[in-house]
A and B are shown apart, each in its own frame.
Chain A
Amino acid sequence: MTQPPDTPPAPVAPPPRPKRLLRSRTDRLLGGVCGGLGEYFGVDPIIFRAVAVVLAVVGGLAFIAYPVLWIFVPRDDGTGNPEPLPLWRLFGRGDGTPPSAGRVFAVVAGVLAVLVLAAVLFAVSGWVTAVGGGVVIASIVVVLGLLGVGGALAGRRAARWLVLPALVLALPSGLVAAAGVKFEGGYGERDYRPTSVAGLPADGYKVAAGTMWIDLRDVPFAAGTTTRLPVHVGMGQATVLVPDTVCVQARAQAGAGVVNVLGHQQDGLNVDYRLRGATSTSPRLDLDADVGMGTFEVVHDPSEARFDGPHRSVGPPGFHRDDGDRFPLTNRACTQGPRG
């Protein structure tokens, strides 16, 4: 009896790998998240891309969900296995070895340094634009863009990073310009109490950043006259106290904030409030307020003010800013004759 020759065992197919969500390496527009979801669920990724666009436009959820998936879902290494997460690669060496304490410290310090630099650039850009240097910032953005184009044509991959400082500069500059913030007139708290019409500054009251109270209750406005008073606030708050014998006319513009003129309030972006229609011969005060970001209000009495200021202590006990509707403000001097 002969022994059958040894035959190699039939190859056994490896057990199927459990299906795992990975970012796609090949089917991607941004980070391969939608492509990976499509492969995972076995559907066309265009469905997830469409949902992402809808979620970005309606409520903006995609702006949070997509980066989270981008960071925490590993990318396909090309063989169906996950690559180390970008964060792990940042701290380690990309080969799965654990990071050393020195490298962790270096990475954290580097990230903090970049964030501080970005914050400084952000603040400087906004400030330079607010003091009238918006052209400089815009020019720097153009130069960064042109350097990026030049670097790209030279095949320099590092030129991609120029987009980041350009956006960090453009964002605050654009915000400040859109809001119309102009830093004129100093900083901090201002408390003005003129006692005559001649004492009102011809170019108005200004504060670059801070709070300003303008108490006009001791100004003897004459019947039949119109006094124009510009008020400019870069960032902050201005409250104007006017006697109730004066008819208030106003145009108040705010890039972003609140305008409250004798109880009539508008808020939001690009506020443009106008109060016109005087019919009486009462003295008129024509306020022309320009607020970049902040609040502007006109009241007869400090107790009616909705916002804090140096005169607020004279308000009735228990008053707080949400009680504004308790004080029906009027502008009756515009429709009634002058009173003694």
Chain B
Amino acid sequence: MKRAIDIPALVGGIAVTVLGVLMLLDRADVLHLGFGWLWPLLLATAGTYLVASGVAGSRR
């Protein structure tokens, strides 16, 4: 039986991937992630995952 997609893991994985790509671009000097960007970015990643977990949990 095919398992259903785990939405929180999917959203969290996408958010973490985006975060990592932005860090790579920063290291490659394509963009600069200063302190002003860093905190919102990390909070957005964690927040996106938490919201996805909460929404998925409320639908169970």
Tell me the residues in window 14-39 of chain B with beta carbons closer than 8 Å to chain A beta carbons: 14-21, 23-24, 26-28, 33-35, 37-38
Q: Contact partner of B23 among A25, A152, A177, CB < 8 A?
A: A177
In the complex, whether A208 has a CB less than 8 A from a CB of chain B is no
Asked if residues B24 and A135 are in contact (CB atoms below 8 Å), the reply is: yes
Q: How far does the alpha carbon of A137 sit from the alpha carbon of B19 in the complex, in Å?
A: 11
A151 at the binding interface (Cβ < 8 Å): yes
The number of residues on chain B lying at the interface, defined by a beta carbon within 8 Å of a beta carbon of chain A, is 41
- Name the contact of A28 in the complex, choosing from B26, B49, B58 (C-beta under 8 A): B58
Contact call B54/A30, Cβ cutoff below 8 A = yes
Which residues of A sit under 8 angstroms from B12, Cβ to Cβ?
A: 148, 152, 159-160, 162-163
Q: Is A154 an interface residue (CB 8 A)?
A: yes
Docked Cα-Cα span, A159 to B14, in Å, equals 12
Whether B7 pairs with A135 at a CB distance below 8 angstroms is: no
In the complex, are the beta carbons of A159 and B13 less than 8 A apart?
Answer: yes
CB atoms of B27 and A28 under 8 A apart:
no
Which candidate, A6-14, A91-99, A168-176, A305-313, is the interface stretch facing chain B? A168-176
Residues of A within 8 A of B50 (CB): 30
Task: Confirm or deny: A139 has a beta carbon within 8 angstroms of a beta carbon on chain B.
Answer: yes
Q: Please report the number of residue pairs spanning A and B whose Cβ atoms sit closer than 8 angstroms.
A: 152
A154 to B24 CA separation, bound complex (whole angstroms): 27
Q: Do residues A178 and B33 form an inter-chain contact, with CB atoms below 8 A?
A: yes
* B53 lies within 8 A of A160 (CB): yes
A101 located at the interface, meaning its Cβ lies under 8 Å from any Cβ of chain B in the complex: no
Q: Does B9 lie within 8 Å of A30, measured CB to CB?
A: no
Given the contacts A29-B54, A155-B3, A178-B33, A141 and B16 also touching, CB distance less than 8 Å: yes
Chain A residue nearest to B18 in the complex (CB): A145
B42 to chain A, nearest CB (A): 6
In the complex the two chains form, is A142's CB within 8 Å of B24's CB? yes
Tell me the residues in window 18-66 of chain A with beta carbons closer than 8 Å to chain B beta carbons: 24-32
Q: B-facing mask of A174-218, CB < 8 A → 1, else 0?
A: 110111000000000000000000000000000000000000000
A147 at the interface (CB under 8 A from B): yes
Q: Give A89-110 as 1s and 0s: 1 = Cβ < 8 Å from B's Cβ atoms.
A: 0000000000000000000000
State whether B42 touches A144 (Cβ < 8 A).
no
Q: A210-265: which have CB < 8 Å to B?
A: 255-256
Question: Whose C-beta in chain B lies nearest to the C-beta of A29?
Answer: B54
A166 proximal to B (CB < 8 A): yes
Other A-B contacts than A152-B10, A163-B45, A173-B23, 5 sampled, CB-CB below 8 A, are A142-B21, A160-B12, A162-B9, A177-B27, A178-B37
